[in-house]
Structure 1
Amino acid sequence: MARKGSAFAGLWVAITTPLKNGQLDEAKLKEQVEFQIAAGTHGLCPVGTTGESPTLSHEEHERVISIVVQTARGRCKVMPGTGSNSTAEALRLTKWAAKEGADAALMVAPYYNKPTQEGFFQHYKAVAEQVGIPICVYNIPGRTGKNIEPETFVRLATLPNITCVKEATGSLDQASQILSSTDLTILSGDDSLTLPLLSVGGEGVISVVGNIVPKDMLALLNAYSQGDTKGAEKWHHKLFHLCRDMLGLSTNPIPLKAAMKMLGRDTGELRLPMTPLDAAGETKLKQTLVNYGLL
């Protein structure tokens, strides 16, 4: 069957929010958008976890959405993060994304307050009924503290503009259950699980490592879609070591921003409570980039 969110299949990159002297670096953000478009990336996800949304002000959050949509100018899709543990705040951000011309909204599950399954459903329902753009539900219990259960996704799938799931539970069983019981499209929320999720019916990835090697992640997706499973496996194993040895050094986006600084694509600046890699971590990261062929 055709899945609701198939228009959102492919490579999405969860881009970072460039900072300079504590402020949003708008010029560098525009460069990032152009870099991804030139690589052939299908869509961009600004102001998510990788975009340090928890430490951006509401005004900065909205500004990033506006810049990315305006810079992309329809050359690739834009699905900004608009989630919150406050339904009213999530609604405000999603309305802003829709007003600015975003193609969809990525809404993380409410975090810290740990809603019931009914609470999850009512949260997404409240936003979906008041905003017309498609919504991708981001399920990442490792960060939010609670899982959105497959049975709740069955209910969410009845809402017309709930179309996709960013699946970051690490459970292929959960993904399989959602795919077999709904018409929602699943996008991987973990780079290293992209190929396994494709094998059970996933249709793409919202990638972190795509910030630096978007063409390689595209090569994996393209190989798989063309039936070249051996080629896809080769890309998976190549990317796996980069994901493990880079992203495993610290909490995202700490090592990613450090890598982008080494590659001359970012200042590497973070906003507290995120802190830079220590000297040992930087040494390991540099060797990882050398081993991959990036330095």
Structure 2
Amino acid sequence: MARSDADRARRGRTRPSAAGRGHRHLDRPGAAADRHPGRVGLRGDGGHAAVYVPLHTEDEFLDYFGACREATGMQMLAYNIPGFTGSNIPLPALRRMVEMDWITAVKESSGNQAYFAEVVDLCRDSDTAVMQGHEPHMAWGLTLGAAGVVPVCANYEPQTFVRIVTAAREGDRHAMEKAQARADLVRDTLSVATPAWLAGIVYAMGALGFGTGRPIPPLGPLRAAQRQRIDRFQPAPPLPFSIPPPADTLKN
């Protein structure tokens, strides 16, 4: 703060203040200052990186998911992605959620095959479906008993991932492995901005006409060589489209 500002502040002519931007909960005090600091008379604005508050114990996870369950009558999916959240849902907590019928499905994206196998096993005799979210393990996960896959690269080339699931349901191992190899190529091509791989997905979707192709900060734009690699890539031809009949559960 400049000395003249400090002098005026002491004389009551102005009040130098700053707002910090963190979590954007609109119902909490100070939310207006977070969103529009200039509109409420604040002269400074600070920011910090987006963060998650990691959970660790079984009770913490049950409290959290229990609050989510009480807040809505919608179907709920438990999403395990420790690479982003810094938290791995404990298997005992997941078992309790399945037993209490809190969740319709589990999306498991840890890449931990032993953990995934445990999740499939504990959901086997329930109506809770298990979805493989780690793309390199899709064929393996479907063979193990996953009900489906939830891959981010399916936004760019959905037909390849449909082929994997269709081949798994038909027991066509050769077709499934072929589709998995194609999925691996798509993933390796689009994930050029390691570790901020999502920037490549955003750019690729923009090349198809979806969105601007510009990632939102803190993700930075791709370098020229990275853009060229995606630009040279040719998506697979589309599959005939049909809408399946509604199912009682995701396991169907």
- 1:277–1:215 distance in 2 versus 1, CA, 3 Å: same
- The match for 1:153 is 94
Of residues 64, 83, 87, the one that matches 1:123 is 64
Residue 152 of structure 2 corresponds to residue 204 of structure 1 = no
1:74-126 residue CA offsets vs partner (Å, 9 max, x unmatched): xxxxxxxxxxxxxxxxxxxxxxxxxxxxxxxxxxxx93343422101111012
Give the letter aligned to residue 69 of structure 2.
A
1:242 equivalent to 2:183? Answer: no
User: d(CA) in 2 for partners of 1:257 and 1:56?
Assistant: 24
Task: Determine which of 227, 231, 246 is the counterpart of 1:282.
Answer: 227
TM-score, normalization: structure 2? 0.67
Are 1:260 and 2:205 counterparts?
yes
Is residue 76–residue 104 contact of structure 2 (8 Å, CA) maintained in 1? Answer: yes
**Which blocks of at least 5 consecutive residues in structure 1 are unaligned?**
1-54, 60-109
Equivalent pair of 2:138/2:149 in contact (CA under 8 Å): yes
Distance 1:58 1:284 in 2: 39
1:163 equivalent in alignment to 2:108: no
Amino acid at match of 2:134: D
Give the 3 Å change call, closer, same or farther, for CA 58–194 of structure 1 in structure 2: farther
The CA distance in 1 between the partners of 2:89 and 2:119, in whole Å, is 11
Counterpart among 167, 176, 183 of residue 117 in structure 2: 176
| TM-score, structure 1 normalization | 0.58
**d(CA) in 1 for partners of 2:207 and 2:179?**
23
| Count, aligned residues | 188
Aligned letter for 2:78?
V
2:160 to 200, 216, 219: 216
Matches within 5 A, 1:88-107: none
Letter in 2 for 1:177: E
Cα distance in 1 between the residues matched to 2:23 and 2:176: 37
- 1:225-275 CA deviation, whole Å, 9 max, x = no partner? 011111111111111111122225332421011112223333112221121
Q: Which runs of 5+ in 2 are unaligned?
A: 1-21, 27-50, 238-252
For residues 61-83 of structure 1, give each alpha carbon's deviation from its aligned partner in whole angstroms, at most 9, with x where no partner exists: xxxxxxxxxxxxxxxxxxxxxxx
Name the CA distance, whole Å, in 2 between partners of 1:239 and 1:192: 8
Are residues 56 and 230 of structure 1, via their aligned partners in 2, closer, same or farther at CA, if it must alter by over 3 Å? farther
Distance 1:248 1:153, change over 3 A: farther
- Aligned to 2:78, the other structure's residue is in SS state strand
CA contact (8 A) 2:159 2:236 kept: no
Equivalent of 1:144 in 80, 85, 91: 85
Distance 1:56 1:259 in 2: 29
Q: Among the aligned pairs, what percent are the same residue? A: 25
TM-align CA RMSD: 2.4
**Residue 191 (1) aligns with residue 132 (2):** no
Q: The residue matched to 1:276 in structure 2 has which SS?
A: coil
Residue matched to 1:31: none
Which protein is bigger by CA-based radius of gyration? 2
1:68-87 matches, cutoff 5 A: none
Quote the offset at 1:162 in angstroms.
Answer: 1.0
Question: 1:125 touches 1:159 (CA, 8 Å); kept in 2?
Answer: no
Moved over 6 A (4+): 55-59
